[in-house]
Amino acid sequence: MQQTILVIGSGVAGLTYALKAAEFASVLLVTKKEDRESNTNYAQGGIAAVIAADDAPEFHIEDTEVAGAGLCRRDAVEQMVREGPSRVFELIEWGAEFSLSGSEPGPALSLGREGGHSRHRIVHAKDLTGREVERTLVAAVQRHPNITVKEHHAAVDLVVESLPTEDGTLRSTVLGATVLDTRAGAVEFIAADATVLATGGAGHAYLHTTNPSIATGDGVAMAYRAGASIANMEFIQFHPTTLYMPEARSFLISEAVRGEGGILKLQDGTPFMDAYHPMASLAPRDIVARAIDSELKRSGDDFVYLDVTHLEADFVRERFPNIYHRCLEAGLDITCSPIPIVPAAHYSCGGVCTDLEARTGLHRLYAVGEVACTGVHGANRLASNSLLEALVFADHAAHDTQALLAAEGPAPKPKAPERFLAANDPARRAAEVTPEFAHQLRLLMQTLMWSHVGIVRSDHRLKQALREVRILHTAVENLYEHSHVTLETIELRNLAQVARLIIECALRRKESRGLHFNTDYPERDDSRPASDTVLPLVSQVGLG
Ligand code: FAD
Ligand code: SIN
């Protein structure tokens, strides 16, 4: 009988993994909304890959490491960069249509440029790259006879047991997960021979984020509760340029806009990035986000501008159709008016610790994509390295799962699985937390994270935030334990857990590095080797 793999999440990571694993196992993929709803679907800029004749892996590795501020894991970066182009061409074989340019000797991939990249290397589908990637992968998954997709199924918790290994020592092993059918309102246990977390990021820990509503840190929270190690959660990337208009707040204005010549300006029209970095408006995004934060604090303004009015209007409309039309819908023609922008939470560089094969510290559990901390991004992710990382590490995870299942066979069945289904207890189901109440608690926490754990931090404010988030987290856990499990309560519980992990990691880092800037330690500490912030403190699983 074929073995079963449970994949949680239908973004680039989960879908890519599923397609590969379906060649040797039966794959059940659960996703908490519709299959396309993911961060992936909203990715604009593209996928970084060494393809151009004037580019080389060494340049991409160096750019990644410079952005990562001394904390990248070298072997992980090498793996991503060297294998990246093959994964991009595989996507094309599966049907992805990326933008092309030139005609001699024939059209070639059009390669864009983004902040921190020393070469043109961003493969894109205009400014809708994620939609094209997601469309391609969902279509391939739907065609595959070995993959079953369950939409509107939200994973609640991993089911983990301590099992003896051949030498008699005990090892935490994941045997599947509990999953809520969000339409039927019931929790079921899904047994699996291997389980893959591909749940994406945690942007909704903050009040303002580029992320769609699915990004609530579920995978990190589940893995932490199950005993896996989590690292580097302090490195939250704030995207510098999101639209500041009430009609479309936090809509992303791609970094590629700066790559094509967009200029950051104060409200009086003065360009200001020259004072912050030699690459001016094309500086890496942590520097740009901090520069904007500092200019806004200095001027008291609510936004700065990103200006493309000096570019050819036809070019802007053709290269950025999505951005052009979204802004136009909100009442702004970007070809003749500058774009009001502010930073917003965008990407989580930390996550569940994994090794080069995407193995976590828990046996039979893998983590791929934004939920994982492979070490590739270090203290700051280079633009367009995220889709690339997901593609490369999903491939490794699938190969490793095949070897694992061949060597060890099926996982044992958990003891008394019904104990995981306490959530279906009628008494508990009768106790309802209203969506409005869950929303109020969520807002309280997001506001606190935005004001106290944002782009510029201090020990005093971090400690204050930790005190308040601890109280909130305890209250939320209590509420969760005694009420009907819904998507709202699952997400609230996970967000509270993740917020706490972000603050705890931030408090442990006694320096400023990459995305983490603390006014009490404004300098990077190069007096000792750079290290990851790993929680819980007892183990250092996965990071080399
Ligand atoms: P996602 O694509 O977020 O998928 C996560 C999946 O897990 C979703 O299907 C979700 O519904 C599901 N899920 C979550 N929790 C549960 C649960 N409890 N149970 C069941 N299912 C669950 N990166 C780049 O490299 N290039 C770009 O140009 C780029 N642009 C971006 C633009 C925007 C607006 C955003 C938000 C991000 C961008 N990024 C970009 C980052 C990149 O899109 C993401 O890091 C990447 O897509 C993450 O892929 P993933 O598969 O790990 O997660
Ligand atoms: C963007 O298009 O600016 C997003 C790119 C990224 O997050 O990698």
CATH number of the domain bearing residue 433: 1.20.58.100
Write the residue with the smallest CA distance to atom 21 of ligand 1.
31
Q: Which of 292, 324, 343 is the last residue of a domain?
A: 343
d(CA 290, CA 264): 13
| Test site for ligand 2: of 239, 251, 258, most ligand atoms within 8 A of the Cβ | 239
Residues 339, 431, single domain; the answer is no
Catalytic residue among 73, 285, 457, 513: 285
Residues 6+ apart with CB under 8 A from 480: 489, 490, 492, 493
Residues 246, 339, single domain; the answer is yes
| Test site for ligand 2: of 39, 80, 113, 114, most ligand atoms within 8 A of the Cβ | 114
CB 297: neighbour CB atoms within 10 A?
10
Write the residue with the smallest CA distance to atom 14 of ligand 1.
199
Cα 254 to averaged position of ligand 2 atoms, centre (Å): 6
- On whether residue 447 sits in a domain, the answer given is yes
pLDDT number for residue 543: 37
Q: Output DSSP code: residue 457.
A: B
- On whether residue 297 sits in a domain, the answer given is yes
| Test site for ligand 1: of 39, 182, 391, most ligand atoms within 8 A of the Cβ | 39
d(CA 513, CA 518): 9
d(CA 302, CA 249): 13
- List strand residue ranges (DSSP E) for 60-164, in order: 100-101, 108-109, 111-112, 122-123, 147-150, 153-164
- On whether residue 28 sits in a domain, the answer given is no
Residues 338, 427, single domain; the answer is no
Low-confidence ranges of the chain (pLDDT < 70): 1, 103-104, 538-544
- On whether residue 186 sits in a domain, the answer given is no
d(CA 368, CA 371): 6
d(CA 280, CA 116): 11
Residues framing ligand 2 (Cβ under 6 A): 44-45, 254-256, 383-384, 386
Structure tokens belonging to residue 350: 């930390």
* CA of 209, closest atom in ligand 1: 36
pLDDT number for residue 539: 44
Is the pTM here over 0.85, yes or no? yes
Q: Residue 267 maps to which CATH number?
A: 3.90.700.10
- On whether residue 303 sits in a domain, the answer given is yes
Ligand positioned closest to the Cα atom of 46: 1
Cα 131 to averaged position of ligand 1 atoms, centre (Å): 11
Where does residue 250 fall: left (phi above 0), alpha (psi -120 to 50 degrees), or beta otherwise?
A: left
Q: How many CA atoms lie within 13 A of 420 on its CB side?
A: 22
- On whether residue 53 sits in a domain, the answer given is no
Active site residue 113: no
d(CA 163, CA 344): 43
Cα 86 to averaged position of ligand 2 atoms, centre (Å): 21
Q: Which of 343, 364, 388 is the last residue of a domain?
A: 343
Residues 337, 430, single domain; the answer is no
The total number of structural domains in the chain stands at: 2
d(CA 158, CA 228): 11
Yes or no: say if 14 and 218 are a contact pair by the CB < 8 Å rule. no
Percent of the chain at pLDDT > 90 equals 88
Structure tokens belonging to residue 78: 């090498």
Q: Output DSSP code: residue 415.
A: S
d(CA 118, CA 129): 21
Q: How many CA atoms lie within 13 A of 119 on its CB side?
A: 20
Residues framing ligand 1 (Cβ under 6 A): 8-14, 30-33, 37-40, 42-47, 129-130, 154-155, 198-201, 210-211, 214-215, 218, 252, 347, 369-371, 384-387, 390
pLDDT number for residue 1: 63
- On whether residue 515 sits in a domain, the answer given is no
pLDDT number for residue 544: 33
Cα 387 to averaged position of ligand 1 atoms, centre (Å): 9
Instruction: Specify the 3-state DSSP secondary structure of 15.
Output: helix
pLDDT number for residue 306: 98
Cα 202 to averaged position of ligand 2 atoms, centre (Å): 16
Q: Which of 305, 328, 343 is the last residue of a domain?
A: 343
Helix (H) or strand (E) holding 535: strand 534-535
Q: What is the pLDDT of residues 196-251, one digit of tens each?
A: 999 999 999 999 999 999 999 999 999 999 999 999 999 999 999 999 987 787 89
**Structural domain of residue 504, as residue ranges?**
423-508
Distances (CA, A) of 468 to 273, 451, 492, 506: 36, 13, 15, 15
- On whether residue 291 sits in a domain, the answer given is yes
Cα 25 to averaged position of ligand 2 atoms, centre (Å): 34
